[in-house]
Structure 1
Amino acid sequence: MGQEELHGTSAPGEEASERLLIIGLGKIGSQVAIRGRAFGMEVWAFDPYVSKSKMDNLGVNQVENLEDGLATADVVTIHVPLTDETKGMLDDRRIRTIKRGAYLINCARGGLLDEEACYEALRDGRLQGVAMDVYGEEPIRRDHPMLREDVRNRVVLTPHIGANTFEAQSAVAKIAAQNLLLALRGEPYEHAVNLPFMKHRLSDQKKLFLALARNLGILGTHLADLTRGAIRSCSVVLRGPLFQEEDEPIRFEVPFRLKPYTVAFLKGLLEVRHGAEVNYMIAPLMARERGIEIEEGTGESNTYRNVIDATVVTEKGSARIVGTVTEEGRQRVVRINDYWLDLIPSGKILLFQNHDRPGVIGKVGTMLGSANVNIANFALGRKNGSGLALAALQIDQDLSEDLLKTLREDVDLIWATSVSLKEDL
């Protein structure tokens, strides 16, 4: 989206409204959008993982490029979790991009922005004001940049205790009591009061499928990103006799009535972007809040005795992942989109698609070796007649974004992404 597309227009004689940019349109960001519009602000949002339909329903304009949004906003407010992807997202370069005279607010997590760069922008007059209640180090240290004498009159700092009010504590106690009564009556309740399933009641084989489902969700997020569209829906089909068995009474599945494997898939799907705060209790709730439709089904399996067959649908495409656990108790990803392969879902994975011709794998291996990245395992999928192949390399070290970019360009890969899969549940 070009910068010229971000500038709103006003009728002759009409004063232009202040422009609010919300980074992260989750539950809190959505509420900020509603209040911003109520105050007559022109509300824009940057969140590549929220569908345009949700933004339209909120009356919010979509920003596809963060720098463009920062350059035109009068007020910037951050509402994203702290993850590997978002850590330091507002660095010195991006803070310099912010429109001169704008206000910057961070009530999300410390570590999302460069606090020293904020100070420099305040001192130079590029930022008009900064407000925050979270800090890179908590409690805030005495020599924090925002406490320096030359900028403190344009800074608002508060402790991160918004929930510690009489009203908030009373509301939480009331909600907990109401939900407990509903759960005891076997009626649907709005908030989670317990795990959606009892993990200790699952057999060893089912626990392996539970771990597999979570990693399929993580893979699903990375494959969905390749379509450059927000996730709209996902389906999980549990194929085979294992999933026909009753795990436990259904009372713990209220209000979603999802099987444990679907919940684990949603956890993996969401935790890549939203961090460790995504647990089994809130994963279905978070999916619903983000407008992700969830379908679950069962069926028969052909090649393998039991498989989890998951599909993620975005605004611009879809991705399919199929996984199984062998009779020896080994987890495997056996299909990605139209490619059959034998991938061990563990540790760090370099996943890429390429033209099926000699020398590609050799070039990738040479470049990884030059960067001191060791290949632990290798899986290849080919689709006859397509001239394309899909490869998955299990590696021992993390890949830098620069190395990924070099691989894409120098080896002429169609796409490449790095995935970090989980060992535990």
Structure 2
Amino acid sequence: MRVLVREPIAEAGVELLRSRFDVDVDPDSPLEDVIDRYDAIVIRSATRLTADVIDRAQRLKVIGRAGVGVDNVDVDAATRRGIVVANAPESTIVSAAEQTIGLLVALARNIPQAHAALKEGRWERSRWSGIELAGKTLGVIGFGRIGQQVARRALGLAMNVVAYDPFVGRERFRELGVDQVETVEELLGAADVVTLHSPLTDETHRLIDRDAIAQMRDGARLVNAARGALVDEDALVEAIRSGKLAGAALDVFSAEPYAGPLLELDQVVVTPHLAASTGEAQDRAGVIVAEQVVAALDGGVVTNAVNIPIVDQADLEVLGPFIPLAAQLGRIAVGLAAGPPRRIAVAAYGPLSESDTRLLTAAALNGAFQGRVDQIVNVVNAPVIAAERGIEVVEERNRASRDYTNTIEVRLLSDGEEIAVSGTTIGPEPRLFLGGALGFGIDMEIAPHMVFVRYPDQPGVIGRVGAMFGDGGINIANMAVSRTKEGGEALMVFSIDTAATTELVDALRDMGFDDVRFVELG
């Protein structure tokens, strides 16, 4: 097999590839003219692999990105062609954690400001006095791989560390000597310094806004080396100018390059997105991506794949229609749970259970973690993410069929509450159907916007709910109702054409139902 190294990577990575394959290091030849000669290509950020280029790559089996982002790769086009796209997200963990600690120390001791003043000939000892970090409380929002490394280093500075992440098991907090808090609000009120390490999702966009800042301690400080859009920058400027916050240290911004008012504030330390910019991180990325390429070409497990991996065609014929179903059931189970998962069980019933269903389990985990952890998630690395977060994963297979010929069930244990959802596929497309939820039988097609309502079985409920959504201008596309017995408990599940407004969500929850859950599947 032949591998093209298109951009410079660590020599150790090149040597690893050369020990297994024929390797060409060629940054200059027109890519569209040579890409069809190779089984794998290794790139960094400068090479753009568009759909047109990928279509020319008739032999290509794997694209290795020596770094984190894959914006320069048309991942959809690669997936359609059965090409694995792998990156090296762990390559920057240490560098990002060290950058965070560097910003933290610089913010506490006003190091950049004092340095700049002295360079300009001003000896200003009293002006730039700072604070000690020892004994202060660091609040870590997002306790994934980088957040945990930051916590370890902060503990070495004799800081007290509290952290929030609903997708990390309690034992991981205990192992690291970190106090777990149950809500972001609790963390904001406890921390002298808040550092952000969350993924950027619709839920976390502008996580630190005016309301969040109001809950922080007076004189607290903020560090962000994760994603710029986690912070409402206008609100941060106001908080620092008013004295509510003592300062901030930022490596990332909502729009880059940044040239806004934060640069005018003496209390703000800034760097131009340098968290991953170390020689070691770049070298590590080269070695890691070389390992991923070797695994892909040798038929091994590609732990950093960002798309669906190549699997045996026979397995795909059986499992293929159920992979998206398992992912959606995982997302629904998490959406219905009151807290973070501690245990996830994935069961296959019927003839489907005779296949190797590990891919279905990984798909369910993939759905459960989407947008809820600080890294790209796929069916290959989802089990690793579960293990890293102390979440128990159970796989079950039972030849006896249940309500359908083939059924998948996802059971999620969350703080003592078990949520179970099940489903099947129907038709040649196939269509994904929800077969059961929360102990009720439901026969309804899964949709992007779903609402689950539990209530005492009584006349008029369906009409009242329908009228409420109609008055709110939101169309109910489909509905199913189930009950335990006449006059017992009932479950209403319906899909809507658009996401519910905040006002409608509040109004439905104020109607006195036993439980109301809105699940967004995208």
Calculate the TM-score normalised by the size of structure 1.
0.84
Q: Report the counterpart of residue 33 of structure 1 in structure 2.
A: 151
Counterparts of 2:386 and 2:369, CA distance in 1: 8
TM-score between both structures, scaled by the size of structure 2: 0.69
Separation of aligned partners in 2, 1:234 and 1:219: 13
Note the alpha carbon deviations across 1:323-352, whole angstroms, 9 max, x for none.
111356432111113100112112211111
Aligned position for 1:254: none
Residues 286-330 of structure 1, C-alpha deviations (whole Å, 9 max, x = no match): 222221121112212133111112111112311111111135643
d(CA) in 2 for partners of 1:260, 1:384: 37
Output one character per residue of 1:52-105: Cα deviation in whole Å (capped at 9) or x when no partner.
332222211122343333233111101101111111121112112221222101
Matches within 5 A, 1:152-167: 153-167=266-280
Please show how residues 225-304 of structure 1 align to structure 2 within 5 Å. 226=338, 229-245=339-355, 259-274=358-373, 277-300=376-399, 301-304=401-404
- How far off is 1:204 after superposition? 6.3
After superposition, the C-alpha distances for 1:216-267 in whole angstroms (9 at most, x for unaligned) are 011011112x2xx321111111112134246xxxxxxxxxxx6222221111
CA distance in 1, matches of 2:389, 2:191: 24
Q: Which residue of 2 aligns with 1:216?
A: 329
In the alignment, structure 1 residue 72 sits paired with structure 2 residue 190: yes
**Which residue of the partner structure matches residue 491 of structure 2?**
390
Partners of 1:344 and 1:188 lie apart in 2 by 33
Q: Is the 8 A contact 2:306 2:376 kept in 1?
A: no
Q: Distance in 1 between matches of 2:515 and 2:502?
A: 13
Kept in 2: contact 1:220–1:321 (CA 8 A) = yes
The match for 1:311 is 411
Letter aligned with residue 63 of structure 1: V
Q: Which residue of structure 2 aligns with residue 325 of structure 1?
A: 425
Task: Kindly report the root-mean-square deviation, in angstroms, between the aligned alpha carbons of the 2 structures.
Answer: 2.6
Cα distance in 2, alignment partners of residues 275 and 350 from structure 1: 27
Cα deviation 1:360-412 (Å, max 9, x = unaligned): 111111111111011111011211277111111111121123321211112x1
Distance 2:218 2:330 in 1: 41
Matches within 5 A, 1:147-186: 147-148=263-264, 151=265, 153-178=266-291, 180=293
**Whole-angstrom distance in 1 between the partners of 2:254 and 2:398:** 49
Q: Aligned letter for 1:221?
A: V
**Percent identity between the two aligned chains:** 37
**1:205 Cα deviation from its structure 2 partner:** 6.5
Deviations 1:199-219 (Å, cap 9, x if unpaired)?
Answer: 876656643211111110110
Aligned counterparts of 1:268 and 1:124: Cα–Cα separation in 2: 42
User: Unaligned regions of 5+ residues in structure 1, if any?
Assistant: 1-14, 247-257
What does residue 218 of structure 2 align with?
Answer: 100
Matched letter for residue 241 of structure 1 = P
Q: Give secondary structure in 2 for the equivalent of 1:231.
A: coil
Report the CA distance shift for 1:245/1:69 in structure 2 as closer, same or farther (over 3 A): closer
Q: 2:262 aligns with which of 146, 153, 170?
A: 146
Equivalent AA in structure 2 for residue 273 of structure 1: R
- Residues 333/275 of structure 1: CA separation in 2 closer, same or farther (3 Å cut): farther
Cα distance in 2, alignment partners of residues 82 and 188 from structure 1: 27
Report the AA paired with residue 283 of structure 1: A
Q: What corresponds to 1:346 in structure 2? A: 447
Query: Which AA in structure 2 matches 1:230?
Result: P
Q: 3-state SS of the aligned residue for 1:105?
A: strand
One-letter amino acid matched to 1:106: N
**Per the alignment, do residues 62 and 245 of structure 1 end up closer, same or farther by CA in structure 2, a change over 3 Å counting?**
closer
The answer for the alignment partner of 1:54 in structure 2 is 172
- CA distance in 1 between counterparts of 2:267 and 2:470 reads 51
Cα shift at 1:118: 0.8
| Residue 399 of structure 1: aligned partner | 500
Partner-residue secondary structure (3-state), 2:166: coil
The 2-side partners of 1:199 and 1:274 are apart by: 29
2:387 maps to a residue whose letter is: R
Task: Find the aligned partners of 1:325 and 1:65 in 2 and give their Cα distance.
Answer: 37
Cα offset, 1:174, TM superposition = 2.3
Task: Give yes or no for the alignment of 1:415 onto 2:515.
Answer: yes
8 Å contact 2:424–2:432 — kept in the other structure?
A: yes
Q: Distance in 2 between matches of 1:354 and 1:339?
A: 12
Q: Secondary structure at the match of 1:267?
A: helix
Q: For the structure 1 residues 272 and 382, does the alpha-carbon distance in structure 2 shift closer, same or farther, using more than 3 Å as the test?
A: farther
Deviates more, 1:283-292 or 1:347-356: 283-292
Deviation at 1:186, TM superposition (A): 7.1
Question: Aligned in 2, Cα 1:85/1:169: closer, same or farther, shift over 3 Å?
Answer: same
Using a 3 Å threshold, how does the CA distance of structure 1 residues 98 and 327 change in structure 2: closer, same or farther?
A: closer
Q: 1:68 to 1:310 in 2, by over 3 A?
A: closer
CA contact (8 A) 1:349 1:393 kept: yes
Separation in 2, partners of 1:114, 1:86: 11
CA distance in structure 2 between the partners assigned to 1:200 and 1:188 by the alignment: 16
Q: What is the number of equivalent residue pairs in this alignment? A: 388
Q: What secondary structure is seen at the aligned counterpart in 2 of 1:273? A: coil
**1:44 is the counterpart of 2:162:** yes
CA distance in 2: counterparts of 1:21 and 1:77, whole angstroms: 6
- 8 Å contact kept, 1:50–1:290: yes
Q: Per the alignment, in what secondary structure is the counterpart of residue 323 of structure 1?
A: strand
Q: How far 1:175 sits from its partner (Å)?
A: 2.8
Rounded Cα–Cα distance in structure 2 between residues aligned with 1:145 and 1:221: 40
- In the alignment, is the contact (CA less than 8 A) between 1:180 and 1:193 conserved in 2? no
